[in-house]
Amino acid sequence: MKTRMLRDIEVSEVGMGCMAFSHGYGRIPEEKYSIEAIRNAYENGCTFFDTAEVYSPNLSGIGHNELIVGKALKGFREEVVLATKLMLHGLGFGGVYKTIRSHLAAIQNIYSM
């Protein structure tokens, strides 16, 4: 698969949006199917995956999609680029910076499981 540069990060020209593995387009597939689809995309040259902490059944949970993506990428996480979105709500002491740092630390834990 062809690649492109996002400044100094090389990614596949075609990325995989992972939202539908948790909500959005009808029935949510079984986790096994979702993991298999992500791994097949990687095996066919995809190195750019998009997720978000809010992607979950009925948008009722946090991290559902990120957990699926994390499980799927186990063993080759360092070979791909992840894009994720987070919600900035209820900002307390430390504001945006602290919230983003906290989110990134949580995501780091998910993808290193």
Strand locations in the chain (E): 3-6, 9-12, 16-17, 48-52, 81-85
CB proximity list for 82: less than 8 A, separation 6 or greater: 49, 50, 51, 69, 73, 111
Q: Report, in angstroms and rounded to the nearest whole number, the Rg of the chain calculated over CA atoms.
A: 15
Which residue is catalytic, options 25, 55, 97, 111? 55
pLDDT in tens, 23-82: 988 899 999 999 999 999 999 999 999 999 889 888 777 789 999 999 999 999 999 999
pTM to 2 decimal places: 0.82
Contact present, 52 and 83 (Cβ < 8 Å): no
Closest CA to 84 of 28, 37, 15: 15
pLDDT value at residue 95: 74
Residue 10 has pLDDT above 90, yes or no: yes
- Predicted local distance difference test score (pLDDT) of residue 104: 77
Q: Is the pLDDT of residue 6 over 80?
A: yes
Asked if 25 is an active-site residue, the reply is: no
